[in-house]
Amino acid sequence: MSIATSPLPPTEAKEAAPFRPKAVTDFASAGLNPALIESLVLKYLLGVGVASGRKVAHELGLPFGPFPEFLRGLKAQQIVTYTDAAAANDYHFSLTDAGRARARGYLEECAYVGTAPVPFADYVASVEAQSIATENPKEADLRRAFSDLLISEDMFRMLGPAINSGKGLFLYGYPGNGKTSIAERITRCFGTTVWIPRTILVEGQILKLFDPANHEPIENVRSSLLREDDQDDRWVEIKRPTIVAGGELTMEALEIYYDRDNKICEAPLQMKSNCGTFLIDDFGRQRMAPIELLNRWIVPLEKRYDFLRLPNGKQIRVPFDQLILFSTNLEPKDLVDEAFLRRIPYKINASDPTEAMFRRMIEIFAPKLGFREIDQASVDHLIEHHYRRINRPFRCCQPRDLLLQVKNYCIYNDLPLEMKPEYFDFAAENYFTVL
């Protein structure tokens, strides 16, 4: 007799424990075959010369448990040899002549040496478990994330629902009004950290995912010197990623990169940004036409998955799980058609600050730049002579930029760091020469 069970209500499901990779005990539970392990071990020993069994396990990010027997098997085949005894019933190993020849053969097939890969299916499951679509930041989360920026209440009211949608948004408006700064802080609204594999094994190919240039790892304190704990070291805990691509973005960056010399694949930018945000800065100024990017992503934005082609010609379906942000100084309707705008339902204008906000930004930046006092008469002079009289609009970047000019003027002339009308006149003359 079977017993029917009802699914957990949404409130209980959301309270599930956060994702953490399960520890593996052997090569089978890691989803790896002995041939792949052998290639990684021999290539590593070829590079370092001599290493203990525990050191080999550490470099591959795997538990030490199955290695003694595995290395004994390689020794029986005269592929490796003992060079010395090591602590805790371990040995130091080096390659024999036959082992070096085999290692060089493995290097010709693929030059990757390092942490063992994670099966692709495990990676897909991890993205689903940590999906940004399941996060629902509230107003308190937004205010915490934007605590170091001055954001209008109208902007907060628009940003909240847009971020919760998980479907992406356009940030548009005049240059200097903080579009990029806003976009870079949106990731902070979605929890804190996620786990990603360092490398992925997909259809026999090793795909590098962890990127130190775009991923910020979290330092973890290990619970045991001998690695007998609950952590799979093939994974790394990182802050939710924020990938920024500007005018340098090309179509090639959105496809799997294959290093033909080393036979190694690297994940595209949108895959590296999964469970985070992907900011397309200065949209419309890339070396490819906007319509090319839109056609490439029109299906992923709708379905939340993408198709990528491997070097062997096979296509794989990968998660497309990030908040896509388009930051532009141009009107969205001038860049894209109606079909694409429908898939990016939120368009938020980063408008010019009011005079009150402009003054408040001077108060915020001044002490950070070393000004002990704020001379209101000098600020009044700046606004009256360089904004009101000529009907110049305020921009969010200008208080910081003008104060920096005043600071540099004082330093160069060996003057006390303070605000004076003539100092602001000098700064404005330089700053607004061609604006």
- Whichever domain contains 397, its CATH number is 1.10.8
Residue 29 lies in a domain: no
Same domain, 165 and 306: yes
Percentage of the chain exceeding pLDDT 90: 58
Same domain, 376 and 312: no
pLDDT per residue as tens digits for the range 207-265? 999 999 999 999 865 544 444 456 899 999 999 998 988 888 888 999 999 999 999 99
Residue 65 lies in a domain: yes
- Whichever domain contains 212, its CATH number is 3.40.50.300
Same domain, 49 and 137: no
pLDDT of residue 428: 94
Distance from C-alpha of 25 to C-alpha of 62, rounded to nearest angstrom: 8
Mean pLDDT of the chain: 87
Residue 16 lies in a domain: no
Same domain, 204 and 102: no
pLDDT of residue 13: 41
Beta carbons within 8 Å of 24's beta carbon, 6+ residues apart: 30, 62, 63, 232
Q: Is 349 in contact with 173 (CB distance < 8 Å)?
A: yes
Statement: residue 6 has pLDDT above 70: no
Residue where one domain finishes, among candidates 116, 132, 155: 116
Please state the pTM of the whole predicted model.
0.82
Residue 331 lies in a domain: yes
Same domain, 69 and 88: yes
Domain limits for position 93: 34-116
pLDDT of residue 229: 54
Residue where one domain finishes, among candidates 116, 150, 170: 116
Statement: residue 11 has pLDDT above 60: no
Would you give the end-to-end CA distance of the chain in angstroms? Answer: 79
Same domain, 162 and 242: yes
Total domain count for the chain? 3
Closest CA to 270 of 320, 340, 214: 320
3-state SS assignment for residue 151: coil
pLDDT per residue as tens digits for the range 290-329? 778 877 887 888 888 999 999 999 999 999 999 888 888 7
3-state SS assignment for residue 125: helix
Residue where one domain finishes, among candidates 349, 380, 407: 349
Same domain, 148 and 199: yes
Residue 22 lies in a domain: no
Residue 28 lies in a domain: no
pLDDT per residue as tens digits for the range 381-390? 999 999 999 9
